[in-house]
Structure 1
Amino acid sequence: MRTLRVLTLLSAAVLLCSAAPGLAPLTCSEGNGPAAADKAVHHINEYHDHGYKFRLHEVQGNSVEQVDGGCNVKLQLDLRETKCHTTNPKPFEDCELRRETQRAVKANCTVLMTIKDGDATITKYECDTRQVNTNSEMVRICPDCPVLLPLNDSEGLKSVHEATTEFNKNTSNQHYYVLKEVGRISSGYIMTSGMNYYAEFALVETRCPMGSRIVIEACTPLCPDRARHAFCKSSYSSENGLLSNDCDFYPAENTTALGPDEKEPDCRHHGRRPPHSHGGPPPHAYDHGHGPLHMLTTMVMALLHMLAKEDALLIVMVAPLHMLTTMVMALLHMLAKEDALLIVMVAPLHMLTTMVMAPLHMIMNMVMALLLLVARVKGHFIPYGAFIHVTDS
């Protein structure tokens, strides 16, 4: 059943009550690591206007170079991505971290800072993001967890478009909303509904009044400080379409009412710009887990879905074989990936495994077809459930 819900509007008063505490003063001593890291994370989140907010996980390095009148500090920080999008006004300290099973993302950041006369200035920072665990590692940790997809994945974007269209049917909104950005897209296979896509995306309020006859995608967003935002999480099935779309509303920063003859200001500059030129965390990190094994798994799953759709008994028979072959292939792939010399050792085993597994798959398909025929003749049709989808990078 499709569920389309709009969740609570976050109160500005509540958010102000949980405002972040003041930063500790910085010195040029060797023990300034925690205070310097705190300032760096605040700075990164302040000027990071896309993707998600980050929290400090560990200070991996802290070097202090004494100079005239102060010092230069170089920090190596390990950050963790939170569930708070940058449009969420909640302080990053209060944001929930993603669990490993939710495809957690880390950012390795190098931060340069100058401290003079007690005044600290961040001159540059660079961050590189990736999943905390690769897809190969996730096969062992959580075989049936959804896999992160590129943000330009066609089916994933299709699900976002349908969710946005459904969102704009909510007549309680004063204006239409358009897509600001996609935060993350993941996918997983479910026997009952095929490939499922899970998207997280941010919407921004536009100038177009609700009900106006206009192509919504052509609507211009309001200025960043005057626009309300919505952050949505949707689920979409390749067979059944949009399944759910749950959204949080975030209030505008500037709620000053316009005068009778005033129009919304025209703003050319969207987003916050740092006073210095530097890099920042990219909005999304995914592991390229769509190699031959992923494609083979998807094809096999589609075939099994067609064969076993009528009888859960077949799923019980197929699941152990599918998991065994996938785990063996994943192990071989990981061994070969670590050291090129192992490829020579793995190749014969890989060929042998393939020669053994292929006939087994054919035999299983024949057995399943026979069982299906018998079940149909006897009229034994058992409800079926979800199947574990295992992928590998």
Structure 2
Amino acid sequence: MYLSIMKRLPILLLLCSAALLCSAAPAVEPVTCSEDGGAAAARMAAHHIDENHDHGYKFKLKEIKGHKVEKVDDGCDIELQLDLQETTCHNINPKHFEDCTIRSESQRAVVANCSVRIHVANSAAKVKNYHCDTRQEKTNSEMARICPDCPSLVSLHDPDGMKSVKAAVQRVNENATNQNYYVLREVGRIKIGWMSSTGMNYWAEIALVESHCRNGTRIVPEACRPLCPDRARHAFCQSSYSSSQGLGSVECDYYPATNSTALGDGEQEPLCRHHHGRDHHGHDHDGHDHDGHSGRGPPNHDGHGGRGPPDHDGHGGRGGRSPPDHHGQGPPEHHGQAPADHDGHGGRGGHADGPPDQERQRHRPPFHRFHCHGSDTAIHPICPWPHPEPRGPRLKPKEEA
């Protein structure tokens, strides 16, 4: 018996390592109309928000600020006021959001204050809507007093920051061990800091998706199309870049595809519909902004705040002070509607009676149909739900014969 278990153990470990799904999602308690049922309702709301938040980073429930139950004929309506905290897990990370690490204050923490409405009828609960105010926990001026040497966040489409992103993507595609080229899915965040030895420094976090282009081909990587959602591998990379020395380090975590079935003889990768080459910030995959914005933008109205290189874990730290004359020009307006995902169906549906299944939690769509316009262009906001219907071109009525 012991030998039999030991023989199977390496296989189990390999499966867990490949799928990254060994930690099961915590069960969600049933939501009721009782006055003491706020915790279960809040957990259900957090699962629903995570299921529909398909860009940026995952959030965890921090605190229940308000819980109100209103009786109706067929059950009740529950109103929740919740505080959520951003984690360091990007949405392509297969880890369940409750297992993710909260971003620390020195890493420029992000919080969301959410109002959620849940309807309960016949012992079934459903999220009707939610709206969240997503912001940096501390403004730049507040952070400058707490940690004057900490880096600050800049716009996700900051022109100089995007130079570092483009260089990082190019470095990843120079890795000969990757079978295919990777293209930019989205920029997670960009931090800047001044160091007297290297000038302005940029630390970017980016999400990449595997494309159909084989590594080493003559095709320009920026022209490559991402693979279908279940067939694509993903990578989450952190890079460092300085204005004087260019690209420094690039470190990536790779996540396997959910569908690893080998193609048959003569069979080609399926083509999936998506908006080619555009992420939800209006950038092409080459890292350029095509919305006509060229000014760099601080994350809020108080300027850039403190500066400094990342600490040993790559998430921010201390360094030289910034020069007093370094100022941003104001944040560009956050343009660019999100394209549809590969199968043309956009984000996931509004099921709210439990956590997403492991396959859906494991893999987020590489492209999105909807992305809201946050007031802070340095972070990814939680978009309201249900998402508004996309606006199509107005059709002129047919003239009567």
- TM-score of the pair, normalised by structure 1: 0.67
Question: 1:238-263: per-residue Cα shift (whole Å, max 9, x none)?
Answer: 00001111100011122222222432
1:187 & 1:10 partners in 2: Cα distance? 39
Instruction: Tell me, in whole angstroms, the C-alpha distance in 2 between the residues paired with 1:258 and 1:46.
Output: 30
1:12 positional shift: 5.0
Structure 2 distance, partners of 1:131, 1:189, is 21
Aligned: 1:103 with 2:108: yes
Shift in CA distance, 10/87, structure 1 to aligned 2, threshold 3 Å: farther
**Residues 212-361 of structure 1 aligned to structure 2 (within 5 Å):** 212-268=217-273, 286-290=299-303
Whether contact under 8 Å (1:130, 1:287) holds in the other structure is no
In the alignment, which of 73, 77, 87 is matched to residue 72 of structure 1? 77
Asked if residue 132 in structure 1 is aligned to residue 116 in structure 2, the reply is no
- Give the distance between the partners of 2:265 and 2:79, measured in 1 at CA: 53
Pairing 1:371-382 to 2, within 5 Å after superposition: none
Deviations 1:281-326 (A, max 9, x none): xxxx9333338xx7xx99xxxxxxxxxxxxxxxxxxx98xx99x99
Where does the alignment leave 5 or more consecutive residues of structure 2 unmatched?
1-13, 276-297, 308-319, 326-401
1:34 aligns with 2:47: no
Amino acid at match of 1:288: H
Higher RCO structure, 1 or 2 (CA under 8 Å, sep 6+):
2
8 Å contact kept, 1:10–1:251: no
Which residue does the alignment assign to 1:206? 211
* Contact 2:21 2:94 survives alignment (8 Å): no
**One of 23, 30, 48 as aligned partner of 1:25:** 30
Distance 1:32 1:13 in 2: 38
C-alpha contact 1:11 1:251 (8 A) present in aligned 2: no
1:113 touches 1:122 (CA, 8 Å); kept in 2?
Answer: yes
Letter in structure 1 aligned against 2:72 = V
Query: Aligned residue for 1:54?
Result: 59
Cα deviation 1:37-72 (Å, max 9, x = unaligned) = 111111111121110000001111111111122111
1:103, distance to aligned residue in structure 2 (A): 0.5
Aligned residue number for residue 45 of structure 1: 50
User: Are 2:68 and 1:63 equivalent residues in the alignment?
Assistant: yes
Distance 2:15 2:207 in 1: 15
Runs of 4+ in 1 over 4 A off after TM superposition: 9-14
Alpha-carbon offset, residue 266 of structure 1: 2.2
Q: Please state how far the C-alpha of 1:29 moved relative to its aligned partner.
A: 0.7
How far 1:225 moved relative to its partner?
1.8
User: Rg larger in 1 or in 2?
Assistant: 1
The structure 2 residue matched to 1:150, chosen from 136, 151, 155, is: 155
| Contact in 2 for aligned 1:84/1:96 (Cα 8 Å) | yes
SS state at 1:16 partner: coil
- Aligned 8 A contact 2:19 2:258 in 1: no
Asked whether the 8 Å contact 1:159–1:235 carries over to 2, the reply is: yes
For residues 176-191 of structure 1, the aligned pairs below 5 Å read 176-191=181-196
**Aligned length, in residue pairs:** 279
Write the distance in 2 (CA, Å) between the matches of 1:46 and 1:38: 12
Distance 1:68 1:107, change over 3 A: same
What is the RMSD computed on CA atoms of the aligned residues?
2.6
Aligned to 1:161: 166
| Structure 2 counterpart of 1:146, one-letter code | P
Please state whether the residue corresponding to 1:39 is helix, strand or coil: helix
CA distance in 1, matches of 2:17, 2:129: 32
The AA in structure 2 aligned to 1:289 is: D
Cα deviation 1:349-377 (Å, max 9, x = unaligned) = xxxxxxxxxxxxxxxxxxxxxxxxxxxxx
Q: What whole-Å deviation, never above 9, does each CA across 1:162-208 have from its counterpart, x for those lacking one?
A: 01001100011110000000000010011111110010010000001
User: C-alpha deviations, 1:129-179, integer Å up to 9, x for none?
Assistant: 111111111111110000110111111000000010011000111100000
Q: Distance in 2 between matches of 1:14 and 1:230?
A: 14
Gaps of 5+ in 1: 1-8, 271-284, 299-317, 327-393
1:10: how far off?
10
Counterpart selection for 2:179 from 143, 152, 174: 174
Which residue does the alignment assign to 1:278? none
Question: What is the aligned partner in structure 2 of residue 273 from structure 1?
Answer: none
- Cα offset, 1:11, TM superposition: 5.0
* Structure with higher helix content: 1
Alpha carbons of structure 1 residues 10 and 77: separation in structure 2 relative to 1, 3 Å: farther
After superposition, give the CA deviation of every residue in 1:198-237 in whole Å (9 maximum; x if it has no partner): 1001000000111111111110001112111000000100
Measure how far apart 1:16 and its partner are: 2.1
Question: Which of 108, 116, 121 is residue 121 of structure 2 equivalent to?
Answer: 116
Distance (Å, rounded) in 1 between the aligned partners of 2:270 and 2:77: 42
Which residue number corresponds to residue 311 of structure 1?
Answer: none
Q: Give the match for residue 361 of structure 1.
A: none
Cα distance in 1, alignment partners of residues 27 and 21 from structure 2: 14
For 2:71 and 2:274, how far apart are their aligned partners in 1? 39
Q: CA deviation at 1:267?
A: 1.9
The answer (yes or no) to whether the contact 1:163–1:242 under 8 Å persists in 2 is yes
